[in-house]
Amino acid sequence: MIRLVTTDFSELRDDTAAGDALVTFVACAHAMLDATTPEEQRRRLEPRLLAQLPTLRALGVFDLFDIRDPALAALLADEE
């Protein structure tokens, strides 16, 4: 299991299990919002983040939590 406070994203998998989807989404979002993350890594993380959306929507995660970052919120809105 990857810790959410890390910069080592090598352990992230594309699993669709609920817990894994949430961990992957948060880790990818955290890295994408970090100004020090290289653009190349952000481009690799974006599809992984977006791949978690169906699972997280089915779980009702976005009914419970709002995305406060405007750029991330816009990216997710584009995927609806």
Q: What is the pLDDT of residues 44-66, one digit of tens each?
A: 999 999 999 999 999 899 999 99
CB-count exposure of residue 70 (10 Å: 0-12, 13-18, 19+): exposed
8 within some domain: no
Residues in the chain: 80
Instruction: Give yes or no for residue 13 having a pLDDT over 60.
Output: no
Residue 59 lies in a domain: yes
- Percent of the chain residues topping a pLDDT of 90: 68
Mean pLDDT of 18-42: 92
- Establish if 57 belongs to a structural domain: yes
Q: Which domain holds residue 46?
A: 18-78
Rounded distance, CA 20 to CA 22, Å?
5
pTM: 0.76
45 within some domain = yes
Looking at the domain assignment, is residue 41 inside a domain? yes
38 inside domain:
yes
What pLDDT is stored for residue 15 in this prediction? 47
How many domains are there within the chain? Answer: 1
Domain-located, residue 35 = yes
